[in-house]
Amino acid sequence: MSLNNKLQKLPPLVFKSHHPRSNKVVTLELPIINGGMGVGVTGPTLAAAVTNAGGGGILTGVALGYPFQKILKKYVGEKPYQANKMALNYWIHDAKEKSNNRFVGVNLMVVVHDFKDLAYTSAKAGVDLIIAGAGLPMALPDIVSDFPDTMIAPIISSAKAARVMVKKWLNKKRPPDAIIYESVHHSGGHQGAVVKDILSGKHQPEEVIGETRKILDDNDLSDVPVIAAGGVWFKDDIIKYMSWGAQGVQMASRFLITKECGHEFGGIKLFKKLYKSNVVPTILEHSPAGLPGRAVPTPFSSRFSYENEKIIPEPHECAAVCLSSCDKKNSIYCILYHLTETLRDNYEEGLFFAGTNVGRPDLDKTELTVEELMKRLAVGESNPAIVQVV
Ligand SMILES: Cc1cc2nc3c(=O)[nH]c(=O)nc-3n(C[C@H](O)[C@H](O)[C@H](O)COP(=O)(O)O)c2cc1C
């Protein structure tokens, strides 16, 4: 951490609703939001802690009925979408209560069957921001048009996707209120590019962030922030992304090893232990969502690594009919089951999504509270892991 960066104060992050009937403006003291981590990883305890520490707390909002199946058993299986809605509604209200009714966002996947229902439920429950990825959320402005104060942001991983989203939403007279850029070279979870493009280095952050900023500015949308995700660990990383044209960052892997993350499911101890072991994430060629993924290599995920010549599908029951891209029993595996097993500390069966930073032994992986982490990010920190090596 250079002295200059240590002295540099991070600017606030300003969100403004571009709905024609809204004057809503939200200013976050720090330009940091947490990435939504599904299924069930980023709950109300983490989201509220991020907001209370000056950033923006984001809940994951998809398929929540399934991890809560013990409580919602009369719905899951019979009425899975009802269960998802109930759990999401409860989490939004809980996060709002824990953060004194301040900023709460939700992360949704376009590729789930009940995307429309979940987006509507989120807006009705009063979320401040809906972030939607895993597909381009073309219809989101229409779904939430009755809720002017619900701000909306697509996730993109390429300049082409940014151009398409801005054009489509401008045609609907509802520009985005933010654009989230997820780097396919660093982020955990599903990736918005094919494996070949990831491996050949396409869609580098500097280039995509710069182009996205320009697309917005050229369309008189200079008040729409670009929020960059992937590989952020330190204040220096935030400053680097800002120098490329971002107004804020979204961080996931480092938030996963905070004390508050996974609180609703017993603290996700194995997930955190795996992250701390510095094991290098692998890229999964296939997922029932139709996208590659980045995850910790485990007995399960290794069977679907892009490096395997032959991928053998694993037949399964379908409990919750979650993905519109999934061919149920004929798909290669049940992603909902394997993601939920991570919440249950199941090493053999869990699908532990992870960003590339997880594999770096030179990073400090101390488990902090969210407040401690946000203070370190604001001030800048020396990396104890590096100091030890020296
Ligand atoms: C465990 C885990 C689950 C994730 N789940 C989602 C998700 O459901 N939706 C999404 O848009 N991004 C998801 N992501 C991506 C993050 O929100 C974030 O953009 C990305 O991981 C940022 O990179 P970082 O982990 O290096 O900070 C996930 C990431 C991880 C590590």
Tokens representing residue 185 in the block? 């070279």
Residue 88 has pLDDT above 70, yes or no: yes
By alpha-carbon position, which residue is closest to atom 4 of ligand 1? Answer: 37
Cα–Cα distance measured from residue 260 to residue 273, given in angstroms and rounded to the nearest whole number: 15
Sign of CA dihedral 191, 197, 201, 203: negative
Cα–Cα distance measured from residue 76 to residue 73, given in angstroms and rounded to the nearest whole number: 5
Query: At a CB cut-off of 8 Å and minimum separation 6, what does 239 contact?
Result: 5, 8, 10
Q: If phi over 0 gives left and psi between -120 and 50 gives alpha, with beta otherwise, what is residue 322?
A: alpha
Residue with tokens 């220096």, as numbered in its chain:
236
60: helix, coil or strand?
strand
Cα–Cα distance measured from residue 153 to residue 58, given in angstroms and rounded to the nearest whole number: 12
- What is the CA(147)–ligand 1 centre distance, in A? 27
- What is the CA(58)–ligand 1 centre distance, in A? 11
Atom nearest to 38 CA in ligand 1: 8
Tell me the per-residue pLDDT of 41-71, one tens digit each, with 9 for 90 and over: 999 999 999 999 999 999 999 999 999 998 8
- What is the CA(20)–ligand 1 centre distance, in A? 31
Q: Where in the chain is the domain with CATH 3.20.20.70?
A: 3-265
According to DSSP, the β-strands at 189-190 and 293-295 are: antiparallel
Tell me the per-residue pLDDT of 251-288, one tens digit each, with 9 for 90 and over: 999 999 999 999 999 999 999 999 999 999 999 987 89
Residue type, 184: V
- What is the CA(154)–ligand 1 centre distance, in A? 14
What is the pTM for the complete model shown? 0.97
Which residues does residue 181 pair with via DSSP β-bridges, in sequence order?
Answer: 156, 228
Judge: domain 3-265, CATH 2.40.10.220: no
Beta carbons of 151 and 123 less than 8 angstroms apart: no
pLDDT tier at 2 (50, 70, 90 boundaries)?
low
DSSP character for 76?
A: T
Sign of CA dihedral 27, 171, 244, 197: positive
By alpha-carbon position, which residue is closest to atom 16 of ligand 1? Answer: 35
- Ligand 1 residue neighbourhood (C-beta within 6 Å): 35-38, 41, 60, 107, 133, 155, 182, 186-189, 229-232, 250-253, 256, 353-355, 357
pLDDT of residue 389: 42
Residue with tokens 């729409």, as numbered in its chain:
224
If 0-12 CB within 10 Å is exposed, 13-18 middle and 19+ buried, where does residue 302 land?
Answer: middle
